[in-house]
């Protein structure tokens, strides 16, 4: 039998390259979230103990109450600021170290054992030591969190630095492209996928560690709140704050990370 191929029509935008997926997009994730809430609702119903296992309605109501009182936004904001500060430090230092180790043999050999040490150092140890040595202050908290994330960033960026296209570097050298321009147009675009990967896993990891840091040595932030709710076995409060933060992190993913990534990878075929 003859074999024939039928075109699916012309793509008008890049998204339109997968017309079948486009119709469904957005629908399946929504269904999946509804399913999650449904299961939660059922479990709460079965447990029949609103104190230990509050349902989604109770938790959402609690979230609204905390939001109205301003408490939620205060603690959310504090935690977010800590996340932002330690994230920035971890990304900047980690990227610089990763670049250096990926490009310079000596740096790689010098830094290798340090990396192994910090990769395997439990977060709790870093946090406790930072509080003991520096004191129960903001800088100790932020440093402890940044130190926990930095080695992962370094490992990821080092991979990217090793994969840099030497042909393009030679081109930039011959044409005497100045350093800043070279960084921006030649180097960083090759590293974006690695930076994006480090940023994404970084955000998820960092906010979890920030909560521990707050629980152990701060008097505000979501971690601190959760510690208090723990003392009262206030599960609704715990879930309300956790949910609020998940929403914010997902908002950052959808509102900032994904659009940024789409923009930076637009050139791909």
Partner 1 sequence: MAALTVAIGEKSFPALGAAARRHVLGSLRFTVEAGQTVVITGPSGCGKTTLLNIVAGLDPRFEGRIEMPEVTRIGYVFQDPRLLPWRTVEDNLRLVLDGEKEEIARRIADVLAEVGLADAQQVYASRLSLGMARRVAIARAFVVRPTLLLLDEPFVSLDEPTAARLRRLLLDLLATHRVTTLFVTHNLREAIMLGDRLIFLSRSPARIVSDVVVPLDRAARTSEAAIESFRTRLGELPALLEQGLTEPTS
- Measured from the CB of residue 190, what is the shortest distance to partner 1 in angstroms? 8
Nearer to partner 1, 16 or 246 (CB): 16
Nearer to partner 1, 139 or 265 (CB): 265
Contacts 24+ apart (CB under 8 A), 199-202: 199/87, 199/91, 199/257, 200/253, 200/257, 201/152, 201/156, 202/87, 202/90, 202/91, 202/149, 202/152, 202/153
- Measured from the CB of residue 85, what is the shortest distance to partner 1 in angstroms? 30
Nearer to partner 1, 111 or 160 (CB): 160
- Measured from the CB of residue 95, what is the shortest distance to partner 1 in angstroms? 18
Binding-site ranges for partner 1 (CB under 8 A): 167-168, 170-178, 181, 185-186, 189, 264, 266-269
Measured distance CA(258)–CA(235) in Å, rounded? 32
> Residue 21's Cα: distance from chain center in Å?
26
Please provide the DSSP assignment of 240-259 as one string: HHHHHHHHHHHHHIIIIIHH
- Measured from the CB of residue 89, what is the shortest distance to partner 1 in angstroms? 28
Please state the φ and ψ torsions of residue 220, each to the nearest 5 degrees. Answer: -160, 175
- Measured from the CB of residue 183, what is the shortest distance to partner 1 in angstroms? 12
Nearer to partner 1, 133 or 267 (CB): 267
Nearer to partner 1, 67 or 186 (CB): 186
């Amino acid at each position: 039998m003859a074999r024939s191929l039928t075109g699916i029509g012309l793509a008008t935008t890049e998204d339109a390259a997968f017309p079948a997926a486009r119709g469904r997009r957005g629908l399946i994730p929504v269904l999946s979230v509804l399913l999650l809430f449904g299961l939660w609702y059922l479990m709460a119903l079965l447990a029949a103990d609103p104190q230990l296992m509050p349902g989604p309605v109770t938790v959402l109501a609690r979230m609204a109450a905390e939001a109205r009182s301003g408490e939620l936004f205060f603690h959310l904001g504090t935690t977010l600021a800590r996340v932002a500060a330690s994230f920035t430090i971890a990304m900047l230092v980690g990227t610089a170290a990763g670049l250096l180790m990926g490009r310079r043999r000596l740096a790689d050999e010098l830094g290798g054992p340090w990396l192994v040490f910090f990769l395997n150092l439990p977060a709790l140890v870093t946090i406790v030591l930072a509080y003991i040595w520096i004191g129960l202050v903001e800088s100790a908290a932020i440093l402890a969190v940044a130190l926990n994330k930095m080695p992962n960033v370094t490992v990821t960026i080092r991979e990217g630095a090793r994969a840099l296209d030497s042909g393009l570097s030679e081109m930039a050298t011959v044409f005497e492209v100045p350093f800043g321009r070279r960084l921006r147009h030649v180097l960083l675009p090759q590293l974006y996928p690695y930076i994006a990967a480090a940023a994404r896993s970084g955000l998820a990891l960092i906010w979890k560690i920030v909560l521990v840091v707050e629980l152990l040595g701060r008097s505000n932030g979501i971690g601190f709140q959760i510690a208090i709710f723990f003392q009262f076995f206030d599960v609704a409060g715990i879930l309300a704050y956790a949910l609020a933060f998940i929403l914010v992190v997902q908002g950052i993913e959808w509102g900032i990370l994904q659009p940024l990534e789409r923009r930076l990878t637009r050139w791909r075929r």
